[in-house]
């Protein structure tokens, strides 16, 4: 039983990382129907932005939770800004272009970000100099570290903040409206461009936050770290019903749990085969994802 609970915890923890990245995927898809392939790389850039801040302010910042939050805020602002820039430079000029062209720009942007970082920081992995406490505690016989708890808590807070933002604010309402009917929004005087920029900012900032969290928790960052998690987040977003925010989180948690259990019972080398195989079977049974159609609200 404690073994079972341990697997659940591992799955939830990994799932919360997937969720932060999947949210950005889903938001952008919901509003402009674009699969932003560079999204995973924004996560990577976030990790490197945090690394730069940490290295520059090593003496000043110290090592507590407050320092972590400060670094995260700077990194979120940086990746958010980068996301807006990306949309402005690479995606906005292509709005009237065939849909696949934009996809290609996104792949191009992904290459440019990855290798831009490789050129700037060198291909060697970098190590975060910020340690997190080693303390652990036992929950129902399973082992949890304080670091894991802190990370999960931060992720949950971020998700709730986003959810509130989308549900309660004017911008959030505009986002939902655009995803429903962009044409009507223009007629109603919504500044579509500005809302799209804000969507990119939010999604990218979340990915950046996840990047810093990964850097702090795992300790190692490299320029290709965004690729695998980008793929997984994409899968999670689709399982949840792409374009649906709560669906993205749900999908991420489901994916995290699935992976955790498949590693234990099938073997880690078959994990991705299992995850993608499940995805294919699942989509043939429920093509719109877990929350794809039931919920009308979309961002």
Site for other proteins in 193-212 (CB under 8 A): 193
Of 5, 8, 52, 218, which lies in the binding site for other proteins, with binding defined by CB under 8 A? 218
Distances, alpha carbon 106 to alpha carbons 36, 83, 190, in Å = 6, 11, 26
Question: Which C-beta is closer to other proteins: that of 163 or that of 272?
Answer: 272
For residue 280, the minimal CB distance to other proteins (Å) is 5
Question: Which C-beta is closer to other proteins: that of 60 or that of 284?
Answer: 284
Question: Which C-beta is closer to other proteins: that of 20 or that of 178?
Answer: 178
Kindly state whether residue 246 participates in binding other proteins, applying the rule CB under 8 A. no
Pick the piece of the chain touching other proteins (CB under 8 A) from 61-69, 150-158, 169-177, 218-226.
218-226
Site for other proteins in 4-33 (CB under 8 A): 6-7, 10, 13-14, 17, 29, 32-33
Kindly state whether residue 152 participates in binding other proteins, applying the rule CB under 8 A. no
248-275: string of b/e by CB count within 10 Å (b at 16+)? bbbbbbbbbbbbbbbbbeeeeeebeebb
Q: 178 CB contacts (<8 Å, ≥6 apart)?
A: 31, 185, 190, 192, 195, 196
Tokens encoding 102:
């934009």
Kindly state whether residue 173 participates in binding other proteins, applying the rule CB under 8 A. no
For residue 71, the minimal CB distance to other proteins (Å) is 18
Kindly state whether residue 260 participates in binding other proteins, applying the rule CB under 8 A. yes
For residue 42, the minimal CB distance to other proteins (Å) is 14
- Determine the Cα angle at 118 with ends 155 and 70, to 5°: 35
Site for other proteins in 88-147 (CB under 8 A): 89-90, 92-105, 107-116, 118-119, 122-125, 127, 131, 134, 136, 143, 145, 147
Strands (DSSP E) found in 21-127: 126-127
Question: Which C-beta is closer to other proteins: that of 8 or that of 67?
Answer: 8
212: nearest Cα among 263, 151, 142: 151
Kindly state whether residue 271 participates in binding other proteins, applying the rule CB under 8 A. yes
* Residues constituting the chain: 299
Pick the piece of the chain touching other proteins (CB under 8 A) from 54-62, 76-84, 180-188, 201-209.
180-188
Question: Which C-beta is closer to other proteins: that of 124 or that of 170?
Answer: 124
Check the CA dihedral 282-283-289-293 and report its sign: negative
Q: 161 CB contacts (<8 Å, ≥6 apart)?
A: none
Kindly state whether residue 66 participates in binding other proteins, applying the rule CB under 8 A. no
Tokens encoding 92:
């906005």
For residue 238, the minimal CB distance to other proteins (Å) is 5
For residue 60, the minimal CB distance to other proteins (Å) is 22
Beta-bridge partners for 221: 126
Kindly state whether residue 3 participates in binding other proteins, applying the rule CB under 8 A. yes
- Determine the Cα angle at 297 with ends 293 and 299, to 5°: 110
Beta-bridge partners for 144: 137
């Amino acid at each position: 039983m404690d073994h079972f609970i341990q697997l659940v915890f591992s799955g939830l923890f990994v799932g919360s990382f997937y969720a932060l990245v999947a949210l950005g995927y889903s938001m952008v898809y919901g509003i402009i129907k674009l699969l932003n392939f560079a999204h995973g790389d924004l996560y990577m850039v976030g990790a490197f932005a945090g690394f730069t801040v940490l290295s520059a302010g090593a003496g000043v910042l110290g090592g507590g939770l407050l320092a972590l939050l400060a670094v995260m805020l700077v990194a979120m602002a940086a990746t958010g800004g980068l996301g807006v820039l990306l949309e402005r430079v690479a995606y906005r000029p292509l709005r009237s272009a065939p849909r696949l062209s934009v996809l290609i720009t996104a792949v191009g942007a992904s290459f440019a970000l990855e290798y831009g970082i490789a050129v700037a920081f060198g291909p060697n992995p970098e190590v975060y100099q910020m340690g997190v406490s080693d303390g652990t505690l036992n929950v129902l016989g399973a082992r949890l570290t304080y670091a894991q708890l802190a990370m999960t808590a931060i992720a949950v807070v971020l998700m709730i903040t986003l959810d509130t933002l989308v549900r309660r604010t004017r911008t959030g309402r505009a986002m939902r409206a655009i995803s429903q009917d962009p044409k009507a929004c223009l007629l109603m005087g919504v500044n579509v461009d500005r809302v799209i920029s804000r969507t990119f900012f939010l999604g990218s900032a979340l990915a950046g936050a996840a990047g810093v969290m990964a850097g702090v928790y795992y300790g190692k960052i490299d320029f290709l770290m965004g690729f695998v998690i980008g793929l997984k987040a994409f899968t999670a977003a689709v399982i949840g019903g792409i374009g649906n925010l709560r669906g993205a989180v749900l999908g991420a948690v489901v994916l995290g749990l699935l992976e955790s259990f498949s590693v234990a019972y099938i073997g880690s080398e078959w994990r991705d085969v299992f995850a993608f195989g499940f995805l294919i079977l699942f989509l043939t049974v429920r093509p719109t994802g877990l929350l794809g159609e039931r919920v009308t609200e979309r961002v």
